[in-house]
Amino acid sequence: MPQNNVIFQKSGDENNSVFGKSLEPIRMLIERRAEAFEQKSAVGSLFKMGKSASFAEKITTMTSMEGFLPVGEGGEYPTDTMREGYSKVLEFETWKDRFIITRELVEDSKSIDLQHKPSAFTAGYYRAREKFAAALYAGAIAGAPASVGGKSFAVTGADGLPVFSGEHPSLYGGAAQSNRYACAFSADNLGKLETKMQNFRDERGNILALAPDTIVIPNDWQLKRDVFAAVGADKDPATANNGFNYTFGRYRIIVWPYLNAFLAPGAAPWIILDSEYNTQYGGAVWLDRIPLTVRSWVDNTCDNCVWNGRARFMAGFNDWRFAAAGGIPDGTEL
């Protein structure tokens, strides 16, 4: 489903004799391209999407409730509670771009160029969102802040550690936990990592019984071959017998080419995540403050029509338990 809408601010050049007739077709082209990009974007599958009306948002983790207790006949109802865990604050970033339609372009009816510029402008906006999301995940895999457009963005969760870490602490006691592993992808390692994730505990030590349902990989042919072989057939992929493949049909596979640009050469990480847990508790969080807002105006110094695009959004990590990563050389051994 589309996660973001385009807002067009009223232009003072609506009745301009040269540019007036080109404004509406350009708007329609931007809207159609936006809808197409929103449908195929990976961002909505890898982040909990939300909106905000504030300059910043505090996000936090929560424990589970203790659950029902035996009280005997006529016993009183015990009062259950949830406790707040670690928390962090996300502050919104402003993103901008523009394109220019020259007077000569309109006068000469260069329809191909008139279509290309707004199309490339819209693609650039959604590419920026994908690249920002991929940079955050790649930074979390590397254990270092993400760098986009010369700015640094944190990849830590609410506990202050990179979201993929081998030593996530428990706020209320208990052993540290890992969601960062060194294992290369294989059918057996998928089963092992899935089991590790299903045994993750909350801050109170309660087992969460997670159900990972998504595998995320870069655009690497060996990983694609191995992942699809492991989960794409109902028989045991490692043998010629009829052993049942218990991972068949349980995973959605996201091959994410944008991730490649931010990974170290030769890196082959793979991530499994529980999309329902992420939606409910906010592991990876994406917040839109101002959607893409487009305004056109005529620059009287050169008679060109300028189209400005502005948006405010931010993303980051909160509760690390939504995902686990393998294929990281310095990760924990399974």
Q: Which helix (H) or strand (E) holds 23?
A: helix 20-40
Tell me which amino acid residue 7 is: I
Looking at residue 142, what is its pLDDT?
96
Return the CATH architecture of domain 7-62+85-326: Alpha-Beta Complex (3.90)
pLDDT bucket at 13, cuts 50 / 70 / 90: low
Query: Tens digit of pLDDT for each residue in 61-74?
Result: 666 666 677 877 87
pLDDT bucket at 320, cuts 50 / 70 / 90: very high
Spatial separation of the C-alpha atoms in residues 217 and 196, rounded to whole Å? 19
Looking at residue 224, what is its pLDDT?
94
Cβ neighbours, 10 Å, residue 102: 15
Report the range of poorest mean pLDDT among 20-24, 33-37, 196-200, 210-214: 20-24
Instruction: Report the predicted TM-score, pTM, of the whole model to 2 decimal places.
Output: 0.85
Spatial separation of the C-alpha atoms in residues 210 and 192, rounded to whole Å? 14
Whether 218 and 275 have beta carbons less than 8 Å apart is answered as no
Looking at residue 26, what is its pLDDT?
86
- With vertex at residue 333, the alpha carbon angle to CA 214 and CA 203, rounded to the nearest 5 degrees, is 65
| Cα 242 versus chain centre, distance | 38
pLDDT bucket at 128, cuts 50 / 70 / 90: very high
**Domain locations in the chain as residue ranges:** 7-62+85-326
Spatial separation of the C-alpha atoms in residues 81 and 65, rounded to whole Å? 6
Spatial separation of the C-alpha atoms in residues 111 and 95, rounded to whole Å? 28
Query: Tens digit of pLDDT for each residue in 74-103?
Result: 778 777 666 666 767 888 999 999 999 888
What percent of the chain shows pLDDT beyond 90?
53
Contacts of 12 (CB under 8 A, 6+ apart): 297, 298
What percent of the chain shows pLDDT beyond 70?
84
Spatial separation of the C-alpha atoms in residues 146 and 130, rounded to whole Å? 13
Residue 228 has pLDDT above 70, yes or no: yes
Spatial separation of the C-alpha atoms in residues 8 and 297, rounded to whole Å? 12
Whether 30 and 6 have beta carbons less than 8 Å apart is answered as yes
Mean pLDDT across the stretch 214-236? 86
Q: What DSSP string runs through 119-132?
A: HHHHHHHHHHHHHH
Contacts of 55 (CB under 8 A, 6+ apart): 91, 92, 289
Cα torsion 300, 302, 307, 309: sign: negative
Which residue from 89, 90, 109, 93 is spatially nearest to 101, judged by alpha carbons? 109
Indicate the burial class of 308 (C-beta count within 10 angstroms; 0-12, 13-18, 19 or more).
middle
**Terminal alpha carbon distance of the chain:** 37
pLDDT bucket at 212, cuts 50 / 70 / 90: very high
Computed on alpha carbons and rounded to an integer, the radius of gyration of the chain in Å comes to 24
Query: Tens digit of pLDDT for each residue in 166-200?
Result: 999 988 777 899 999 999 999 999 999 999 999 99
Looking at residue 206, what is its pLDDT?
84
Report the range of poorest mean pLDDT among 195-204, 238-247, 311-320: 238-247
